[in-house]
Structure 1
Amino acid sequence: LGSWGQGLALAARAGAVLADLEFVQFHPTALDEPKRPMSLISEAVRGEGATLVDETGRRFLSGVQGTELAPRDVLARAVGNHLASGHRVFLDVRERPGPTFARQFPTIALACKEAGIDPARDLIPIRPAQHYHMGGVAVDLAGRTSVQGLWACGEVASTGLHGANRLASNSLTEAVVCARWVAESLRGIPARRAQQTFASDSPSPDPAAVRPVLSRALGVVRNREGLEAAARALLPLAECADATSGPAVVGLMITIAALQRRESRGAHQRTDFPLHAAVARRSEITLEAALRTARELEPRLECLT
C-alpha cells in the first residue's frame, strides 16, 4: 500500500483531534527519475561541497541566504521555483566530493548507477520530493490523544517538537523518547475489550485518485484557489464508502488545514499570504470540522456510486 496516512485516517474517524497537518516537509534534492518513490540525496552531499546548477551550468542560488546549505524549506522553494520557470536543476558532485563520492555515499551512488547516471562524469538531475509530515494526531507528553483510551507516538503523532520545519533525524529521537513516555503512561492500565471492529471485507485503500490532486494543490507553494479546488475534488471521495475514502479523508484534512492557515511559516508557503504572523500558533482540526468547511465551498460534486 505504501504510506498514505493510515494512522491519521483511523484516528480521525475515531473523532481524534489532528494538529499541524499543513506542515509537509519537502526534501530539496531527490533524484529526478521515473521511479517512485524517488531516491533522496542527503544534504550531507552538499555539506561535502556539491553544488546546485541548472542546465546552463549556472549556480542559481546566489540570492538565497545559505546557498546550498540553506534550510530544507528555503532550498526546496528555490529549486521548485527554478523548475517552474522552465529550467532543469542538477547536483554537481564531479569536483566536490569528486573521486570520494561513491565511497562516502554508496547508497546514493548505487541509485545514480541504477538510473544510468555516472556522478563522476554526469550532473545528477534533482527535484523536491515530499518527505516528512510534521503534523499528525495531537498528543500530550504522555502520548494521549483527545479520544479516551487512544495513544499515539512516532510519525503518526504531532507532539509539537518539530514546529513548522523538522530538522534532519529529529524524528528518530522523537520516536525513541516519546515511545518510552507512552509506555510509562500505559503501565498499569488494564486492557479493554474492543467495542468496535472493522469489517474484514472493507475495500483496500487506493490513493491513486488523491495523489494528483494533492500534488497540484499542496506542493512546495500553495494558494487559496488551488486549495479550494482540491477541497472540492476531495470532498466527494472522502464521503464515498469506496477504496479512495481513506486517503481522501487525510488529504482533505491537510487541505483544509492549509487553507485555514493564512500565513507562510516553515514548510507551509502561501503565495497569497507570503508573510508570517507575529505570533506562532498550532492548528487543530477534526474530520467533522474539515468536512463541514469543505461542504461550504460550493459548488460541490456528488459521489458517483
Structure 2
Amino acid sequence: MNWIRTVAVYLSTAGVLYLVLAYIGDLSIRQSIVLALLMASLAVGIITIAAAKPAGRFNPYYVRIDPNWYDLLIDFKLIDKPEEWHAIQKSFEGLPTTEYRVLRSGICFTVVHQSEDFERTLVYSDNHRAFVSEVDFEEDVEPIRVEHTNPFGEPNTCDVRLFMKSGGHGYNLGIRVPGRWWDQVKGACPKPIKEIDDHPTGRVELILATISHREFDLYWEPVEWSSTFYDKTAKQIRGRRDEQRQKLGWKTIEHDADLGAELGIDFPESIEHKYFNVEHRGI
C-alpha cells in the first residue's frame, strides 16, 4: 500500500509546513495553505525519487567452467585408460570450432543483468548463443556413453551429462548418470558431495563441487562512488568470498600482477577444484 504511505507523508508534511508558515512566518491562512501544499509536493517528490534510485549497480561478468576431464572420467569409470581420452581429443580435430562439444569447450556464459532482489537474471550462453533466465546448464558429454542393464535385464546404452545449476549454497557442478549404472560402479568411485536421485527418469545427479554465490558479489558496486566501498567494503566482500572458497574446497590461482601490467593483460579471477577450473571477469 505504497500510495497510502505517500499520501500520509504528504498530508503530514503539508500540515507541519502550514503551522510554520502561518504562526511563525505570520503569513495569511490562504498563503500558508498554498505554500505548504507546494512545498510538501516538492518534498515528497524529492523523497520518492531518492527512494526509487537503486543503491547498487550491477556489472556484467563472464564465467568459464573447464572440467579436469581426464581425472573426472577416469575416477568415475567413464573411461578405462589414458588412450581412450587421447582418442576422444583426436576425434575433435576434424570438427569445426563452431560445433559445440562440452568435452572440448567446457561451459561458458555471461551474466548480462541481475535485479537487486536477485529475482530476475538475464544470462547469455556463449556455447549455444542464446539467452536464458537463469544459470541452469546441462550438456551431453558426447561421445561418452555408459552401458548398464535395464530393469528387464536388457543391455542399455545411455548418455552422461555435465551440469551446472543453482542450489541452496551456490552453483552445483557435477555429472548426471543412469542410476542403475551408478549403483554398479559407485563402490569403486570417489564419494560425491551429494547424490540426488531423479526417480522418474532413473537418473542420479552426482554433485562434485559447489561455487558459492559469494564468488560474484564484487560485480555489484554502489551507484554513488564511495572511498569507503573500495577501502573497506570491497575488502570485506573479498574476505567472505575467500572464506567460502576455502570452505567449499576451492584454491585461488594467483596471477603475477606486475606481469599483467607489463603485458597489458587483465587477468581473470581464477579458482581450481579437484575436478574443475573456473575463471570469471567483469566485461
TM interval, short-chain normalised: under 0.3
* More contact order relative to length (CA 8 Å, sep ≥ 6): 1
Q: Name the structure with the higher strand share.
A: 2
Give the structure with higher Rg (CA).
2
TM-score by length of 2: 0.24
TM-score by length of 1: 0.23
